[in-house]
């Protein structure tokens, strides 16, 4: 059994923004965590390439839609490599294998009697690719999200009988584990309780899309196309991909991680489409919040868009990851603040974790011949061992329910407690008395051992920093031994060599 998790398939009208980087980093942490637990992970990301908006963007650039998509898709693909994202599949919805699977899926839904021809009239937002309710109630015919004029549409479309699945969808969304966090579930429960309406799954004026078999000028509605990417990705490397192969290859997804703006498509439309096609629904949909900057919504017109590329080149991967993971409670909205960012990185990573490692390793090298001390006798109670064991237990628990911020805080708290232990025991004073040597050895060993565990706990969160910590302890993560086992206390080898320490993370300067 595989553990399948997905980012949204990102829309290729522009290069990745901070929100996409955030979602993808969170998915990456979960994927790494599950792999460390020994699970067979399929981590899917990719791009959603069809639709009117892309068609128009390409027209504006005076190039073919395909050329535009090739360009932006490549940017996404390279971007995730730059961020060291451990994805297994990168699906493009303009690929041939994806089209095959959309067609197969459509045939199944049709065979269930859930497709019919109807007339679609209404106000449409091209940005959202969605019809909007009752614009006459608002002062302008504008999309509240995009602030762009809505377009009136009146055309023959194929419809999907969503209304038929009212009861089944109610049952699924009332399952507490299906939509998280709970605020998101409540929004969807409200929406569904107003009664599900059939929605159109084809367009007649969009040439950049997958043609609907048997309906000359119709192409599939982007969502009836893009959502299938999660399934087509699974068999994308197979010489003859098919729906059946994908389903047998790991479906259903264990978790779809998405922004809250596209929750309705994932938690309502998608499960209904899947039931209609006789396919299992995903196990969980996690809708995270939006990111603001210094308390303000980011937008091109405001000129305050934070470019993730610049963040990466200025600060590096680990600091950005740490801030996004630790400072934002997954599911809630988050705010990016420059000063706060610098403070958190300096406090948590440079001072609390980095200095702890550096000064302890330096003491040990100085007093014990560049080595980890040999413990001669053990005290009956070891405070630090208890702290570490509790931290590991809590961390695993929090990670398991996707409370990544709380898991990160467990690691940080262990580091804080380790610093306190060191300061309380003051081995630099004890060492002056020869009789204290066994005690000093024990203290230094405990601190180094706790730091080793901190390093290992950081492995799914901050892979780079984690490796640096453990390299500096001369105790790297060993693939052949289960990770959980390596989190047990007491595995740092007595009398093993300690490499010369160097700062594992640089302090950041705050520039106004
Ligand atoms: Zn819109």
pLDDT digits (tens, 9 = 90+) for 77-120: 999 999 999 999 999 999 999 999 999 999 999 999 999 999 98
How far is the centre of ligand 1, averaged over its atoms, from the C-alpha of 13 (Å)? Answer: 14
How far is the centre of ligand 1, averaged over its atoms, from the C-alpha of 131 (Å)? Answer: 9
Q: Per-residue confidence at 212, pLDDT binned at 50, 70, 90?
A: very high
How far is the centre of ligand 1, averaged over its atoms, from the C-alpha of 148 (Å)? Answer: 7
How far is the centre of ligand 1, averaged over its atoms, from the C-alpha of 259 (Å)? Answer: 15
How far is the centre of ligand 1, averaged over its atoms, from the C-alpha of 127 (Å)? Answer: 5
DSSP conformation class of 3: E
Q: How many CA atoms lie within 13 A of 113 on its CB side?
A: 3
How far is the centre of ligand 1, averaged over its atoms, from the C-alpha of 264 (Å)? Answer: 14
How far is the centre of ligand 1, averaged over its atoms, from the C-alpha of 140 (Å)? Answer: 13
Average pLDDT over residues 49-58: 93
- Does residue 128 or residue 439 have the better pLDDT? 439
Please tell me the predicted confidence (pLDDT) of residue 151: 87
How far is the centre of ligand 1, averaged over its atoms, from the C-alpha of 144 (Å)? Answer: 7
Q: Which residues are CB-contacts of 288 (< 8 A; sequence separation ≥ 6)? A: 22, 23, 26, 257, 258, 259, 260, 330, 331, 332
How far is the centre of ligand 1, averaged over its atoms, from the C-alpha of 228 (Å)? Answer: 22
Distance from C-alpha of 65 to C-alpha of 3, rounded to nearest angstrom:
34
How far is the centre of ligand 1, averaged over its atoms, from the C-alpha of 54 (Å)? Answer: 14
| Inter-CA distances, 389 with 353, 392, 396, 414, Å | 18, 5, 11, 10
Q: Per-residue confidence at 144, pLDDT binned at 50, 70, 90?
A: confident
Q: What is the rounded average pLDDT for all residues in the chain?
A: 94
In this structure, which residues have their CB less than 5 angstroms from ion ligand 1?
125, 127-128, 143, 145-146
Q: Per-residue confidence at 378, pLDDT binned at 50, 70, 90?
A: confident
Average pLDDT over residues 213-230: 95
Per-residue pLDDT of 391-410, as tens digits, reads 999 999 999 999 999 999 99
Which run of H or E residues covers position 124? strand 115-125
Please tell me the predicted confidence (pLDDT) of residue 135: 58
Q: Per-residue confidence at 8, pLDDT binned at 50, 70, 90?
A: very high
How far is the centre of ligand 1, averaged over its atoms, from the C-alpha of 128 (Å)? Answer: 4
Residue 242's Cβ-count burial label (10 Å; 0-12, 13-18, 19+) is middle
How far is the centre of ligand 1, averaged over its atoms, from the C-alpha of 16 (Å)? Answer: 19
Cα pseudo-dihedral 276, 249, 48, 92, rounded to 10: -140
Residue 341's Cβ-count burial label (10 Å; 0-12, 13-18, 19+) is buried
Terminal Cα-to-Cα distance of the chain (whole angstroms):
51
How far is the centre of ligand 1, averaged over its atoms, from the C-alpha of 53 (Å)? Answer: 11
How far is the centre of ligand 1, averaged over its atoms, from the C-alpha of 146 (Å)? Answer: 4
Which run of H or E residues covers position 47? strand 40-48
How far is the centre of ligand 1, averaged over its atoms, from the C-alpha of 143 (Å)? Answer: 5
* Backbone φ/ψ region at 369: left (φ over 0), alpha (ψ -120 to 50), beta: left
- 3-state class of 333 per DSSP? coil
- Helix, strand counts (H, E) of the chain: 21, 15
How far is the centre of ligand 1, averaged over its atoms, from the C-alpha of 119 (Å)? Answer: 22
How far is the centre of ligand 1, averaged over its atoms, from the C-alpha of 186 (Å)? Answer: 22
Do the Cβ atoms of 421 and 383 come closer than 8 Å?
yes
How far is the centre of ligand 1, averaged over its atoms, from the C-alpha of 7 (Å)? Answer: 21
DSSP conformation class of 377: S
How far is the centre of ligand 1, averaged over its atoms, from the C-alpha of 344 (Å)? Answer: 35
Total Cβ atoms within 10 A of residue 480: 4
How far is the centre of ligand 1, averaged over its atoms, from the C-alpha of 402 (Å)? Answer: 30
Distance from C-alpha of 101 to C-alpha of 79, rounded to nearest angstrom:
27
Picking from 54, 38, 37, 47, the residue whose alpha carbon sits closest to that of residue 87 is 47
Average pLDDT over residues 186-206: 94
Average pLDDT over residues 483-510: 93
Per-residue pLDDT of 439-470, as tens digits, reads 999 999 999 999 999 999 999 999 999 999 99
Distance from C-alpha of 475 to C-alpha of 455, rounded to nearest angstrom:
10
Total Cβ atoms within 10 A of residue 304: 13
How far is the centre of ligand 1, averaged over its atoms, from the C-alpha of 261 (Å)? Answer: 10
Do the Cβ atoms of 8 and 259 come closer than 8 Å?
yes
Please tell me the predicted confidence (pLDDT) of residue 28: 98
Cα pseudo-dihedral 202, 204, 206, 210, rounded to 10: 50
Q: What percent of the chain has pLDDT over 70?
A: 99
Q: Per-residue confidence at 138, pLDDT binned at 50, 70, 90?
A: low
How far is the centre of ligand 1, averaged over its atoms, from the C-alpha of 288 (Å)? Answer: 19
How far is the centre of ligand 1, averaged over its atoms, from the C-alpha of 439 (Å)? Answer: 66
Q: Which residues are CB-contacts of 395 (< 8 A; sequence separation ≥ 6)? A: 407, 410, 411, 457
Average pLDDT over residues 315-339: 95
How far is the centre of ligand 1, averaged over its atoms, from the C-alpha of 147 (Å)? Answer: 7
Per-residue pLDDT of 248-303, as tens digits, reads 999 999 999 999 999 999 999 999 999 999 999 999 999 999 999 999 888 877 88
Q: What is the pTM of this model?
A: 0.95
Please tell me the predicted confidence (pLDDT) of residue 21: 97
Average pLDDT over residues 36-65: 95
Please tell me the predicted confidence (pLDDT) of residue 134: 65
How far is the centre of ligand 1, averaged over its atoms, from the C-alpha of 21 (Å)? Answer: 21
How far is the centre of ligand 1, averaged over its atoms, from the C-alpha of 304 (Å)? Answer: 20
Using the structure block, give the residue that is written with the tokens 């950049």. Answer: 208
Largest CA distance in the chain: 91
How far is the centre of ligand 1, averaged over its atoms, from the C-alpha of 122 (Å)? Answer: 14
How far is the centre of ligand 1, averaged over its atoms, from the C-alpha of 11 (Å)? Answer: 14
- The answer on pLDDT for 137 being more than 70 is no
| Inter-CA distances, 396 with 40, 168, 467, Å | 18, 34, 19
How far is the centre of ligand 1, averaged over its atoms, from the C-alpha of 132 (Å)? Answer: 8
- The answer on pLDDT for 215 being more than 90 is yes
The two three-digit tokens of residue 219, written as one number: 């192409």
């Amino acid at each position: 059994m595989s553990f399948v998790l997905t980012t949204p398939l990102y829309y290729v009208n522009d290069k990745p923004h901070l929100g996409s980087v955030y979602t993808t980093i969170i998915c990456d942490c979960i994927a790494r965590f599950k792999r460390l637990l020994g699970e067979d992970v399929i981590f899917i990301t990719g791009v959603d390439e069809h639709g009117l908006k892309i068609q128009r963007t390409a027209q504006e650039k005076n190039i073919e839609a395909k050329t535009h998509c090739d360009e932006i898709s490549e940017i996404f693909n390279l971007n995730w490599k730059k961020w060291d994202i451990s994805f297994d599949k990168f699906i493009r919805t303009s690929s041939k294998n994806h089209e095959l699977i959309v067609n197969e899926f459509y045939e199944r839904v049709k065979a269930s009697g859930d497709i019919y021809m109807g007339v679609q009239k209404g106000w449409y937002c091209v940005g959202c690719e969605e019809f909007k309710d009752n614009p006459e109630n608002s002062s302008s015919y504008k999309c509240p999200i995009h602030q762009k004029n809505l377009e009136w549409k009146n055309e023959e479309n194929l419809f999907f009988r969503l209304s038929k699945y009212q009861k089944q969808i109610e049952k699924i969304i009332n399952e507490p584990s299906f939509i998280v966090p709970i605020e998101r579930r409540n929004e969807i429960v409200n929406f569904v309780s107003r009664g599900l309406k059939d929605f159109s799954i084809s367009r007649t004026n969009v040439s950049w899309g997958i043609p609907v078999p048997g309906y000359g000028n119709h192409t599939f509605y982007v969502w009836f196309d893009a959502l299938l990417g999660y399934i087509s990705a699974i068999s994308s490397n197979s010489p003859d991909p098919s729906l059946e192969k994908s389903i047998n290859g790991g479906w259903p997804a264990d978790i779809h991680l998405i922004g809250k703006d596209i929750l309705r498509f994932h938690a309502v439309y998608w499960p209904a489409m899947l039931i209609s096609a006789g396919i299992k629904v995903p196990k969980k949909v996690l809708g995270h919040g939006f990111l603001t900057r210094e308390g303000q919504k980011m937008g091109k017109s405001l000129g305050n868009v934070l470019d993730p590329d610049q963040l990466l080149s200025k600060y590096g991967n680990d600091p950005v990851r740490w801030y996004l993971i630790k400072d934002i409670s997954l599911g809630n909205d988050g705010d990016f603040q420059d000063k706060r960012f610098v403070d958190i990185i300096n406090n948590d990573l440079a001072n609390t974790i980095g200095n702890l490692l550096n000064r302890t390793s330096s003491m040990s090298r100085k007093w014990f011949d560049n080595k980890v001390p040999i413990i001669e006798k053990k005290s009956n109670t070891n405070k630090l061992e208890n702290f570490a064991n509790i931290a590991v237990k809590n961390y695993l628990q929090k990670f398991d329910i996707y409370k990544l911020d709380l898991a990160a805080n467990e690691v940080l708290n262990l580091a804080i407690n380790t610093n306190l232990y060191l300061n309380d025991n003051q081995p630099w004073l004890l060492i002056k008395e020869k009789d204290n040597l066994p005690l000093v050895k024990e203290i230094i060993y405990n601190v180094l051992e706790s730091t080793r565990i901190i390093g290992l706990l950081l492995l799914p969160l901050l892979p780079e920093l984690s490796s640096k910590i453990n390299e500096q302890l001369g105790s790297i993560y060993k693939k052949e031994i289960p990770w959980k086992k390596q989190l047990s206390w007491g595995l740092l080898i007595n009398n093993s060599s300690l490499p010369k320490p160097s700062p594992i993370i640089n302090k950041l300067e705050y520039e106004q």
